[in-house]
């Protein structure tokens, strides 16, 4: 049993700013896990929520939220995160099926794919994030006696620092195919950091590698400042997502990948709602309208 928030002191990195968004996503995964028609299962997610100061009272089941599934945050937004989790789970497992054995999670947060995905035992998941985030995750998982389903290597480094040296020093082999996830990351970065990240992933990947990331294409994010999702998130849990996003014009990362012999497919989340039969659908003044999920493979043509 995970201890109460007061028993946990190693929460540096998830107690404010962008770090606390990892807890928001964990709560959404917990809610998704407990749905009767769940698209993704994460049995560890609710334990992160209960363990962190400031969010121990957040719902981990949709019926615990005010208004239930009609709640813009714990209903619709949580369904979005549940759908995203399923889509990227499928992406990772599909790429593992083609022979890649290295998975790199950039800004890993409280991602537990190393523990919950059915994957080859010779595969390795590299979790790249700040030391405080990874330490908090490790503390909770240790108390649960969680065992990864294959190799797992924590890489404690801020993505603003030399994460490439940290990753390669941890055993990552750039000559072998790899799978990369930048889930819920790029829109917090300035455009030059996004460009650097995409160029670096290309440099570190062999043919047969795969990359998935999320981006936003709105020209003016503040046009959606009154969206129910943003206002509910701020009002209910104190997270002002719009203040955390970088508002500078975004680079053409898809074009950059295509120029480097990647095949990239750009999807709206609503496409996967139709495919899976549940998830968010378009609404007026929709904060999700500009979200895109990019699934790319390196062809080496």
Tens digit of pLDDT for each residue in 4-20? 333 333 455 787 678 89
Residue 3 pLDDT: 34
If you write DSSP's letter for every residue of 76-117 in order, what string do you get?
A: IIHHHHHHHHHHHHHHHHHHHHTT--EEEEET-TT--HHHHS
- What is the model's pLDDT at position 4? 30
Give per-residue pLDDT as tens, 156-192.
999 999 999 999 999 999 999 999 999 999 999 999 9
Q: What is the pLDDT of residue 96?
A: 98
Q: What six digits make up the tokens of 189?
A: 């970065």
- Does the pTM surpass 0.85? The reply is yes
Q: What is the pLDDT of residues 258-287, one digit of tens each?
A: 999 999 999 999 999 999 999 999 999 999
- Is a pLDDT exceeding 50 seen at residue 204? yes
Q: Which fold has domain 5-298?
A: Rossmann fold (3.40.50)
CA dihedral of residues 189, 191, 196, 198 (deg, nearest 10): 80
Residue 299 has pLDDT above 90, yes or no: no
**Residue 42 — very low, low, confident or very high, per pLDDT cuts 50/70/90?**
very high
Backbone phi, psi, residue 182, to 5°: -120, 75
Mean pLDDT value across residues 61-66: 97
Instruction: Check if the beta carbon of residue 113 is closer than 8 Å to that of residue 139.
Output: no
Distances (CA, A) of 116 to 41, 42, 85, 119: 8, 7, 12, 9
CB atoms near residue 40 (< 10 Å) = 20
Every domain of the chain and the residues it spans: 5-298
- Rounded-to-integer distance, Cα 85 and Cα 87, Å: 6
| Cα–Cα distance, 274 to 269 (Å, whole number) | 9
HEC string for 162-205:
CHHHHHHHCCCCCCCCEEEEECCCHHHCCHHHHHHHHHHHHHCC
235-264: pLDDT as tens digits:
999 999 999 999 999 999 999 999 999 999
Confidence of residue 36 (pLDDT cuts 50, 70, 90): very high
pLDDT tens for 70-92 read: 999 999 999 999 999 999 999 99
Phi, psi for 153 (deg, rounded to 5): -135, 120
Q: Nearest CA to 244 among 189, 286, 170, 204?
A: 189
Which run of H or of E encompasses 38?
none
The overall average pLDDT reported for the chain is 93
Residue 8: predicted pLDDT: 35
70 φ, ψ to 5°? -80, -10
Cβ-in-10-Å burial (0-12, 13-18, 19+) of 226 comes to: exposed
Q: In angstroms, rounded to a whole number, what is the distance separating the alpha carbons of residues 9 and 5?
A: 8
**Confidence label for 103 from pLDDT (cuts 50, 70 and 90):** very high
Q: Which distant-in-sequence residues (6+ apart) come within 8 Å of 117 by Cβ? A: 89, 92, 93, 149
């Amino acid at each position: 049993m995970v201890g109460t928030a007061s028993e946990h002191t190693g929460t540096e990195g998830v107690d404010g700013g962008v770090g606390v968004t990892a807890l928001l996503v964990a709560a959404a995964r917990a809610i998704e896990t407990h749905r009767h028609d769940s698209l993704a299962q994460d049995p560890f997610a609710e334990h992160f929520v209960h363990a962190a100061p400031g969010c121990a009272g957040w719902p981990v089941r949709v019926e615990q939220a005010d208004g239930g599934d009609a709640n813009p945050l714990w209903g619709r937004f949580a369904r979005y995160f549940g759908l995203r989790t399923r889509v990227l789970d499928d992406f990772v497992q599909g790429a593992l099926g083609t022979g890649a054995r290295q998975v790199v999670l950039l800004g890993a947060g409280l991602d537990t794919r190393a523990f919950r995905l059915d994957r080859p035992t010779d595969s390795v998941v590299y979790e790249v994030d700040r030391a405080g985030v990874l330490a908090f995750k490790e503390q909770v998982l240790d108390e649960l006696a969680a065992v990864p389903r294959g190799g797992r290597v924590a890489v404690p480094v801020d993505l603003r620092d030399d994460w490439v040296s940290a990753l390669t020093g941890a055993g990552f082999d750039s000559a072998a195919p790899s799978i990369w996830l930048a889930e819920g990351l790029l829109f917090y970065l300035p455009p030059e950091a996004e460009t650097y990240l995409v160029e670096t992933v290309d440099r570190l990947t062999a043919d047969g590698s795969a990359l998935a990331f999320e981006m936003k294409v709105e020209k003016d994010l503040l046009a959606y400042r009154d969206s129910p999702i943003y206002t509910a998130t701020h009002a209910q849990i104190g997270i002002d997502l719009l203040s955390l996003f970088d508002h500078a014009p975004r680079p053409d990362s898809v074009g950059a990948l295509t120029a480097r012999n990647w095949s990239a497919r750009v999807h709206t989340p609503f496409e996967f709602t139709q495919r899976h039969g549940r998830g968010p659908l378009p609404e007026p003044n929709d904060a999700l309208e500009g979200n895109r999920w990019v699934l790319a493979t390196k062809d080496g043509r």
